[in-house]
Amino acid sequence: MKRTLITLCGFLLAAPGVYAADAAKTASANRGASLFKSNCVACHGAEGKGDGPSGRYLPTRPANLTLSKAPDEYLKLIITEGGDAMGRSASMPAWGAALTNTDIDSIILHINTLRPPLN
């Protein structure tokens, strides 16, 4: 009984930290959605399917992010350095000078909400 009570108390003391981390992640993903809307939707579309209004005029269709299995590290590189630097479409601009690392991380959190979980 005493061990159960101690375990329960430990869980209750740790829980606010867990909830705070979840809240911070949600806030960052929400910021990412806003940044995605202002910087990415024109090419990738509102749902990230590569069907944005400007995308149809590009020589290479923008990536359908809902089907992408690229890990977060790769997304960070291609967003930061641009498609050409990664051996992909030169139409994908490098955003590293315009966006902070935190902004890019937030956009990646949002992209992850657009696609099924990676296994």
Domain ranges of the chain: 2-114
Predicted pLDDT at 89? 96
Residue-wise pLDDT tens digits, 11-48? 555 556 556 678 888 888 899 999 999 999 999 999 99
Q: Distance between CA atoms of 64 and 43, rounded to whole angstroms?
A: 10
CA distance to 10, 11, 17, 93, per residue, from 72 (Å): 33, 30, 24, 18
Distance (Å, rounded) from C-alpha 87 to C-alpha 45?
Answer: 22
User: What Rg value do the Cα atoms of the chain yield, rounded?
Assistant: 19
CATH class, range 2-114:
mainly alpha
- The pLDDT tens digits of the residues spanning 56-90 come to 999 999 999 999 999 999 999 999 999 999 999 99
